[in-house]
Structure 1
Amino acid sequence: MNRALRRSALTVALGLCFASSVHAQSNTAGAVFGQAAAGDTVLVENPATGFKREIRVGSDGQYRASALPTGSYRVTLQRADGTSSVRENVTVNVGTGTSVNFAAAAAGGATDLDAIQVTATLVNPIDVSSVESTTILTATQIAKIPVPRDLTSVALLAPGTVKGDAAFGSLPSFGGSSVAENGYYVNGFNVTNSFKGLNFANIPFEAVAEQQIKTGGYGAEFGRSTGGIINVITKRGTNKFEAGGNIFWEPESLAETDPNLYYPDGRLIEVNSKDKTSNTTASVWASGALVKDKLFAYGLLQYGYRDEDSYPETFNGIDGDRNHGDETKSPMWLVKLDWNINDNNLLALTAFSDKRKTDAKYYNTHFGTDSSPTWTPSRGDYVGTDTMENGGDSYSLKYTGYLTDTFTLSALAGHGEFRRFNYGVSSSGIRQEYRGDVGGPVSGCPWIVDARPSVINGVNQEITGCWFVDSLGRVDAKDTRDQFRLDAEWQLGDHLLRGGVDIDNFETIDGTSYAGGEQWRYGRYTPIGGTATENVVRRRVFQSGATVKVDQRAFYVEDNWSITDSFNAYLGLRWDTFDNKNGSGQTYVKIDNQFAPRLGFSWDVNGDSSLKIFGNAGRYALPLTANVAIRGASASLYSEEHFTYTGVDPVTGAPTGLVQIPNVITGEDTRYLNNEFGVGKDPKTIASGNLEPMYQDEYILGFQTQITDGFSGGARAIYRDLKRAIDDTCDYRPIFEWADENGYEVHDANPGFPYCRLYNPGSDGVFTMDVDGDGTFEHITVPADVLGPKAKRTYKAIELFAEGQLTDKFFLQGSYTWSKNKGNTEGGVKSDIGQADTGTTQDFDYPELTVGADGYLPNDRRHSLKLFGNYQFNDQWSAGANLLVQSGRPINCFGYNGAGDSNYANGYFWCDKGDGNGSQLVPRGTAGRTPWTRTLDLNVAYSPTIPTGELTFKVDVFNVFNEQEAVAVYEYGEDAGGTPQQGGTAPDGTEYANVYGYPTAWQAPRSVRFMVQYRF
């Protein structure tokens, strides 16, 4: 019995540090709650800031101090008889509630724990009342394990997360969702970039105090996400003055490279051994009280420098291919101000900048005359510099008011800007940039493509010109967010009621143009009625540009009901409104009050926090991103013409002596592709009249149990089902058939006839279009089975997890996830081909593209094992480790469609994969998988004793054994004409082997990071 009492006492003591409650869903603060005698008073105070709240215990013996800034607290019970009890070092984390009981809750055998003093540790004991799937990592924990210093890498430590395709940058996939479906927050301010959902405003990593990763089951306060939530709380000042600095250095001399790629006959086709990368990041910071107990400041400056040399990913051994050297400079800063106006009113300001500038210097690559299998490329003449600028400044101001003991109100206003554009300057001083909307000025050299067979075979010299940038972004391109939210919390007996309104308005200025305003493609063409010739050139012009908006509004209410002392129930309701506007300020899609209910429960089975059973069910909706309106709902220009030519400009590479000829495909003089005339589009033609938002249902059931005094483990089952998606259809055939059946003569070359239209795959298309070009719009309903199948995506998973302190020196956390991610669409983006057109992928453009598309999706990783931790040898030495073992991703075989439709060339699940069976249907994910990967990272830290301050040296080694398995492969089994894919012809006339299945990306190679840090 004594052992049981000691175990129970320790459980409660650990709970003072980390036990979380469903009663706290705030995205910036936590809470302290518990039991005491009715009429007593509980004082909650933070000694570091002087903040304090005094709460009277209710008649039911319950008390709650909500919306507390994260930190370490002292909780004091002041009894009516004048005696008191104190709990020290009570840790409050973001989005959690910490239980501090001063009265025994259980009958019979319970013991008074008033005398227990608690010291914060790295233990995360059982949270007996939360329904969420959440991982919280503090700055202290992150510093102890070898992990790259960015939010995505930390998020990937959580169960159920996998790294997304490299085509979209460094982003995580949560529970089978695409990387474009996540939400990102900094101190309560939504910093998700809603242009494509593929970016977010980044704070200097040194400023992170806590990172909360919500992988599922999150409450109605959070929306606009069908993936996961990354919620960051920054560091802030206290009464104690602190300052310091550190430097992180990753030298290129200790970094390995990706392997070179060879054909089976030994020919070198990809040179990676010459690639080099080094990184340096330095930070300085200071924090303290400007006015003791009242006004606090934390400030940080960070500067990052990255130097990278990259040779061609693929080449044919022809002079003219280009390599580049990149220099990236990232000056970042953050300021956090906290004003304790009085005990009942707080004000907090967060401001930060994440600007980044990259200069990519391009050079010609020479391969010499050596025709042996070991061509060695060398860097040739300088061509020009492509400058890319990204990032901006963000500001948010938050007020918290403790209006009564049971009612708390908070308000937040935030503004953020994110610029993203590029411009080029050639070696001859020619500036390449795009200014203004469609039809605006474009300077520079035109984009030149030389695809003449005589050049590919090495007979003639390639035409290159002075271009080195394929496309240009508008120099004034930027994204702007203005967010306002109001949240209220009211404790009413056994019910904790929460609710609020969230207004999030997002504006994008964006546009794209070909370099120099046009693309010239030299090739082998057969004019209408003529013979094949290389004396024809194709001219394409593409420009898009507009200022578009997404206005978002949401209301939510929650009821957290303590039905008994050991059983909690949660009900959340959310309503989202999405209003998408085109470049003329006109609404082209508006969805009112999308309903998203959330339900959950948590049962403390034994009543002593030793075993929890929990579950939840929820609906999550996703808005249409802003990028859809840039080209799809606003003015854009896309034209194609063909000419004969007599010469080539020696500087620009553009043809001279032009004579226009009929289009070699249609016989027309000029063809505007996709009916893009450079004029505005009517908003009512863009989307189906019955369009509904994308949403997903999620179900989770799990348990967690105490294994030892400081270590716990558990399991949960997850099921996610995409119920509805938004994408576009570009199939004009049903429209032409409708016109024939209803006596209309089609005149599709008019702005009222969009070839691509938004709809919900699996639902009827209700389209408004000007079919005959007379200015009158027709209303056309196309049955769902004509447009194609319903969008499908499911995620099924079992997660096993464990965490805690094995000893007082050994912290360990880990998980194993078995999962299946299956369907006919990945979601917002298409990793199969690296398509980042969020919300308008080619998945449902034509029904033929969906044939064979149902199968295992790109983010499917059947098995994933994660282990990380740290061992503290003594006060000076510690070592950390991070292990990831993961099964491979599915492989496809794309090719020419055997059913006859060729609109998307080799973009179909139909190909010759080189197995001797010819061209055939190859359903999604059935062409094998990439290999299993194993990555072990290690670190060691040394903190010598010095008279003043703290000095730390640390070395992190990533991918210690330099594992180099392929994580992505070339998935095109046929070329655009249906011929088994070949890699081209070598200078000696020998044909390359088939490139299908060859690696295109590998595990990150071994690298070493050094750190020196001093703080005082």
Structure 2
Amino acid sequence: MNTKHLFLSTALLGAFASSAYSQSNTTGAVQGAVVDSKTGEKLPGVTVIATSPSLAQAQTAITDENGGYKITDLPPGDYLITFYYADITLERGGVNVGVNKVTPVFQKLNQAQAGGEVVKITDTAPTIDPTSTTQGITIDKNYIKNIPVPGRTFESALGAAAGSQGDQLGVSFSGSSSLENQYYVDGVNTTGLTFGTVGSPVINDFIEEIEVITGGYNAEYGRATGGVVNVVTKSGSNEFKGSVFAYFQPGALTAAAERTPNNASSIDATGDLAYYADFGFELGGPIIKDKLWFFVGVAPQVSKVDITRTTKRQTDCRKLEASGNLSTCDARLQAMGGNADSVPDVDPKTGFYITDTLDEEVRSRSARALSFLGKINYAATPENQGQLAIQAQPGQSESPGIYGPATSGSKLSGLTTDISTKWTSKFNDNKTEIEAVIGWHREKISDDPYDPSQADKPLQVLYDGSLGVWGPGFGAESNATNEGCRDLPPGMSDPYPLLANNCPMDTAPYVIGGPGSISNDLQQRRAAKLSVTQRMKAGGSHEIKAGIDVEDNTSNTARLYSGGAFIQNYVGSDLIRVNRWVQLLGKMGSPQVMGNTDPRYDNRCSTPDTSGQTMGNIQYVCDYITGDLGAPGTEVSGNTLNWSVYLRDSWQIQPNLTLNAGVRYEEQRLRYAEFLRGQVDPLTNETLGKNAMTMTGMLAPRVGILYDWTKEGRSKIYAHWGRFYESIPMRINDRSFGGEVNFQQDFAPSQCGAPDPRIGGPIGNARNGEGCLTDPNAVGAQERLIGASGVLIAPGIKPQYMDEIIGGFEYEILDDLKIGVSFQNRRMGRVIEDVSTDNADTYIIANPGEWSSDEEEKLMDRIDRVDPANLDEKARLTRQLNLFKGIRIFDKPRRDYNALQFTMTRRFSKKLYVQGSYTFSKTEGNYPGLISYDNGQVDPNISSQYDLIELLANRVGPLPQDRPHYIKLDGYYTFDLKKAGNITVGTRLRALSGVPINALGGHYLYGGNESFLLPRGQIGRTDFEHSLDLRLIYARNLGKNMQLEFFVDLHNIYNRQGTAGVDDNFAPQFKLSAPNSTSGTEQNANPVSGGTYQDLIWVKTIDNRGNESAVPIGKNPNFRNTTGRYSPLNANFGMRLNF
């Protein structure tokens, strides 16, 4: 860290220690003014007191010369606000305070009224925050309790926010991917370090309130280009209170799931919930009344998913009649009057092969976990308070193999821990506030083989073969499956003897062996934050806040395959590919090799020389990474240091006109793995230091303005502009800065021992890939090192950021009823991705489409200064210059999000709560975000999206998160049955557009789903989807302060199991020579720039050097078929005893 910057940050805090803004991201505030009800005169000296069951000690403020007041640091909940003026007392109850929100409470007081009695004000306080331009939603515990959210942790409620939608790894907001969010629990950043997912899933029963910010967040928040989720858990108070709860979802109350068969595969798998259950308690109360309080919650969880594994065979007994319909099944040969013609039957209406079901088997995945939360709160005085919290979530799971023997599965165990402490102090008549937070977030995950006997076996994936061979060969299939898949001559027990392969595995592989990649990963974040806040008068009222936060992030990641390798066995193509993790010592003949004394480096690794310096391969001395965890090379340690400082001012020019202005400065230092430091970089010929990439200059200004035309906090017109920078997840540390090198060897089967009858092959000559490992010095027919040349970082690389514009209004048209309309525009300004300008030989972490001309001149000057006799150095630098200049050829990443949102909220009052939104939006461009939705890759900032220039065509269009229409409606109503109790009915409605469908193909270097054969979204969209959920709650009082509740949820009550995903792969990477064949060839294709579906018939395959052939691509028989559906109708029930 640059200490000069830290000293500057500390000086900024000191400068504003007498000037700031007062509410943290775990509390809210109440503000307003007191005036005479008849004359409108501003009343100074009024005592305002806030009390609540959520508040340990009453908080007090005195109105100033303008009658204004503000009470800060209030935990979320309902408050009683009491006004004392002379001998007049007014009480206003039901004032709801949300986390990180300011609730306006303006009060009129009649100075002429008689004193001595308490006047109770019955009208409700507004719900519009007149100080903030943020977009989003606040979800309180009543919402979670009464709305049928589709899960048991806080992520299940996040979909209530307008502009949000689910994706593969979480919830995305406002056109961004879910890995661009930041998650805070009790003020501590708990975002997952490796990818940016949810790091600590808090169970709903422990939650007080959730703030979801989908845009316009202030300078306190950074490191996010998606949304910010702020979870506040429950705390103790002066009252003992808590609950005992149980929740159960049995599989028996789930409707049958619609199957999603995989065309041209002989195994289908469908998961059905067998059961989910959790139970536990939460309790809070005083240890020392008015001083010390506790809260504790414990909740074990267990679940089981039954996966029905269906085996099937293709048929050959039907013909297409002149009417367009299929005939009935007649398996006799055509010469005998039947329909058998050696071609598998296909349903002309669906395009699916017609199959016979052979057998069904259920394999189960099980999981168990525990959620624990403990918290201590301490108040030295009402102005000086502290908190200590700990959260722990241990868990284990078991998953058998599905597409192969069950023994190829794995067992997983993990532990997530969060510890935090916070202290808040107020000074200067509560006008100055200092808050300090220290937190530790830790994630540990490890796995073991499902079958211990397979621990030392490599994972082997078999492609393009027959279940009729693999089933009996590996003993994983039933007798019914083995008998039904046998391929026999006519006259024997095979009902379809003309089919050469009754049970092909064309579109799904068969997995055997050990668990594959070994996990033994530990990620930790040590964080500290300090903020200073104050109010002051100068041309109006100012609330200024300054702060600094520092995060030290570390990761320890395993790099090891079970059995030392991962094998891809292309049975139908006579190819076995062996993948190994390796460590390189250096090139043959290099000083590192000549002086080596380490016996580990006893292998040879070669790779094609694409630099043009030689005509053949480059030879390296290397070490195959094998053995147990902890052995040299099997663990990678990474580190990233983040720090930021911010300053913002909320200037209330008039009581109903506010200007918010702020700026945030961030830096991020991503560091090399410890074992790489001090080594010579093979690309730059320079010794690697500590920092691999330093992101500086992240200056993020933000400005907003608000106007309240009612002057009572019941309306606001607002606008906001801001810049937001990404915080790069640590996956890049593990891979790009962790010395990741993978050695691929392609062997002919004849190099791998004797034929293995269990594998089969076109003529029974296929080998087991394990035979390729017996000789560590074996040389493959083709060999390639991925990552051998290291990773270049483009000089002058700049941080990734997004700009945002928001405008809109909110108005409380009736008491408790608020409407809003807003427009939101988000544009990616710059992206960080790895690119290759030399056909995937060298990777450069860069800003695609741009490279500084100043940096070009610097490098050219450096080349000019090289000693003319040093030809190697000059050639190396010249090559780097050409590589960097190639960055400009790439298309600039673009992601444009434009949304018009309509919102409506009727808060809970008179038994009714309603919340709804309609969002019309467009998300377009060529860059989806940190998730590569199209090929399923999750490698933030180092995905394949910008690796090759030839794959950039056709990527512009509607992005995967583009859903033009999204309707959300939530609500509940409580029926008061008097002494019989009460019944609450809660509903949750969702209706949304489908997602774009693409036509994808394979690439000879990168595999399947990498080439956009047609422009993005050309094929159309999936269907418009909708669902309705229902919750029924019956509650009855059992006595003083005790209530028993029973509830039942019905999700997807009309059982619409819509399309959640389709197969976008038009051209499978491997094409069989015939639909029922066991042999074929690899096929890849380049994009048809600007093409249409009709053009696909002209697309030709390309060879392993990128040259186009005369062979047309073959269509995936599963193209556009449904691959995933939404959950069927299901029910769950539970109970809760509140006391």
Same fold per superposition (TM over 0.5): yes
TM-superposed CA distance for 1:390, in Å, is: 2.7
Name the structure 1 match of 2:437.
Answer: 412
User: Who is 1:110 aligned against?
Assistant: none
1:69 equivalent among 67, 75, 87: 75
> How far apart, in 2, do the equivalents of 1:457 and 1:788 lie?
47
The correspondence of residues 477-556 of structure 1 with structure 2, limited to 5 A, is 477-493=521-537, 494-523=541-570, 534=574, 537-542=576-581, 545-556=635-646
Q: What code does the residue aligned with 1:673 have?
A: I
- Asked whether the 8 Å contact 1:848–1:908 carries over to 2, the reply is no
Residue 629 of structure 1, CA deviation: 1.7
Corresponding residue of 2:942: 840
Query: Structure 1, residues 594-631: CA drift from partner, whole Å, max 9, x if none?
Result: 00111111111232444421111111101221111212
**How far 1:811 moved relative to its partner?**
1.2
Alpha-carbon separation, structure 2, partners of 1:657 and 1:296: 62
The answer to whether the aligner puts 1:574 opposite 2:664 as a matched pair is yes
Contact 1:260–1:273 under 8 Å retained in 2? yes
Write the distance in 2 (CA, Å) between the matches of 1:806 and 1:385. Answer: 49
Which deviations, in whole Å up to 9, do the C-alpha atoms of 1:887-907 show, x marking residues without a partner?
10011110157xxxx433444
1:595 aligned to which of 699, 706, 711: 699
1:655 is aligned to 2:771: yes
- Alignment of 1:396 onto 2:404: no
Amino acid at match of 1:780: L
SS at match of 2:1000: coil
Correspondence list, 1:635-674, <5 A: 635-641=739-745, 642=747, 644-647=751-754, 654-655=770-771, 663-665=780-782, 670-674=783-787
Query: Quick one: which amino acid aligns to residue 443 of structure 2?
Result: F
**In the alignment, what sits opposite 1:831?**
933
Higher helix share: 2
- Partner Cα distance (1:797, 1:314) in 2: 46
* Partner in structure 1 of residue 957 of structure 2: 855
Which residue of structure 2 lines up, in the alignment, with residue 447 of structure 1? 459
Q: Give the letter aligned to residue 69 of structure 1.
A: P
SS in structure 1 at match of 2:180: coil
Aligned in 2, Cα 1:114/1:93: closer, same or farther, shift over 3 Å?
farther
Greater Cα shift, 479-488 or 196-205: 196-205
Deviations 1:3-23 (A, max 9, x none): xxxxxxxxxxxxxxxxxxx97
* Matched residue type, 1:417: R
1:153-552 to 2 correspondences below 5 Å: 153-165=156-168, 168=169, 171-262=170-261, 271-272=268-269, 275-311=272-308, 324-362=363-401, 383=407, 386-405=410-429, 406-426=431-451, 429-430=452-453, 432=455, 444-451=456-463, 455=466, 467-475=512-520, 477-493=521-537, 494-523=541-570, 534=574, 537-542=576-581, 545-552=635-642
Q: Which amino acid aligns with 1:640?
A: Q
Structure 2 partner of 1:704? 810
Q: Distance in 2 between matches of 1:471 and 1:858?
A: 30
CA offset digits 1:99-132 (Å, max 9, x no partner): 2334579xxxxxxx99443588xx9733334211
Structure 2 counterpart of 1:886: 992
Residue 956 of structure 1 aligns with which residue? 1049
Contact 2:954–2:1016, Cα closer than 8 Å, also in 1: yes
Distance 1:587 1:320 in 2: 57
- Call closer, same or farther: CA 1:982–1:164 in 2, change over 3 Å: farther
Report which of the two structures shows the higher radius of gyration computed on alpha carbons: 2
State the AA in 1 paired with 2:461: V
Residue pairs, 1:74-93, within 5 angstroms = 74-79=80-85, 81-93=86-98
Runs of 4+ residues deviating >6 angstroms? 313-323, 463-466, 648-653, 765-771, 773-776, 980-984
CA RMSD of aligned residues (A): 3.4
Supply the distance in 1 between the matched residues of 2:922 and 2:871 (Cα, whole angstroms): 44
Deviation at 1:983, TM superposition (A): 7.8
Q: What is the identity, as a one-letter code, of the residue corresponding to 1:513?
A: L
Distance of 1:657 and 1:74 partners within structure 2: 74
CA gap 1:119/1:334 in 2 versus in 1, 3 angstroms: farther
TM-score (norm 2): 0.73
Partners of 1:467 and 1:321 lie apart in 2 by: 20
Distance in structure 1 (CA, Å) of the matches to 2:947 and 2:311: 30
* 1:357-376 deviation per Cα after TM superposition (whole angstroms, max 9, x unaligned): 111234786xxxxxxxxxxx
* Unmatched segments (≥5 aa) in structure 2: 1-19, 35-42, 111-116, 315-356, 477-510, 582-624, 626-633, 678-689, 759-767, 864-869, 1080-1113
Within a 5 Å distance, the mapping from 1:715-754 to structure 2 comes to 715-733=821-839
Out of 847, 864, 889, which is 1:760 matched to?
847
Corresponding residue for 1:871? 973
State the alpha-carbon separation in 2 of the partners of residues 994 and 908 from structure 1: 18
Quick check: 2:955–2:1012 contact (8 Å CA) kept in 1? Answer: no
Following superposition, the deviation at residue 656 of structure 1 comes to: 7.0
Greater alpha carbon shift after TM alignment, 272-281 vs 345-354: 272-281
Change in CA separation of 1:868 and 1:524 when aligned onto 2, cut-off 3 Å? closer
Change (3 A) 1:456 1:1010: closer
CA offset at residue 717 of structure 1?
A: 0.6
Q: Specify the alignment match of 1:811 in structure 2.
A: 913
> Match for 1:924 among 1003, 1009, 1016?
1016
Residue identity in the other structure for 2:548: V
Displacement of 1:1013: 1.1
Aligned 1:120-131 pairs, distance under 5 A? 125-131=127-133
Aligned with 1:843: secondary structure?
Answer: helix
Q: What is the letter of the counterpart of residue 762 of structure 1? A: G
Mean Cα deviation higher: 296-305 or 319-328:
319-328
Greater CA drift, 781-790 or 490-499: 781-790
Which residue identity does 1:764 align to in structure 2?
Answer: W
Match of 2:645, SS?
Answer: strand
Q: Quick check: 1:132–1:216 contact (8 Å CA) kept in 2?
A: yes
Per-residue CA distance 1:554-603 (angstroms, 9 max, x = gap) = 10111001111211110011001111012126211111240011111111
Rounded Cα–Cα distance in structure 2 between residues aligned with 1:157 and 1:702: 19
| 1:805 Cα offset (Å) | 4.8
What TM-score, normalized to structure 1? Answer: 0.82
Q: Which amino acid aligns with 1:951?
A: L
Q: Give the distance between the partners of 1:776 and 1:286, measured in 2 at CA.
A: 67
Match of 1:561 in 2: 651
1:77, distance to aligned residue in structure 2 (A): 3.2
Q: 1:208 to 1:385 in 2, by over 3 A?
A: same
Could you tell me how far 1:650 is from its partner in structure 2?
Answer: 10
1:197 counterpart SS class: coil
Aligned to 2:1138: 1015
Q: Name the structure 2 match of 1:132.
A: 134
Cα distance in 1 for partners of 2:1016, 2:422 equals: 48
CA distances 1:10-42 after superposition (whole Å, capped 9, x unpaired): xxxxxxxxxxxx976631111122224223433
What is the distance in 1 between the residues matched to 2:565 and 2:360?
Answer: 20
- Give the Cα–Cα distance (whole angstroms) in 1 for the partners of residues 531 and 772 of structure 2: 65
Aligned counterparts of 2:807 and 2:64: Cα–Cα separation in 1:
33
Q: 1:762 to 1:321 in 2, by over 3 A?
A: farther
Q: What residue number does 2:614 align with? A: none
SS at match of 1:618: strand
Deviations 1:287-320 (A, max 9, x none): 1101111111110000100111224599888999
Q: Deviations over 1:431-458 (max 9, x none)?
A: 63xxxxxxxxxxx1112233365x4785
**One-letter amino acid of the structure 2 residue matched with residue 473 of structure 1:** I
Q: Establish whether residue 780 from structure 1 lines up as the match of residue 884 from structure 2.
A: no
- CA distance in 2 between partners of 1:619 and 1:981 (Å): 54
Give a deviation string over 1:477-536, Cα, whole Å, max 9, x none. Answer: 1110101000111101111011100111111111333332112344469xxxxxxx84x6
Q: Report if the CA contact (8 A) 2:460-2:513 is conserved.
A: no
Q: Aligned equivalents of 2:228 and 2:952: distance in 1? A: 31
Q: Give the equivalent residue in structure 1 for 2:603.
A: none
Partner of 2:330: none
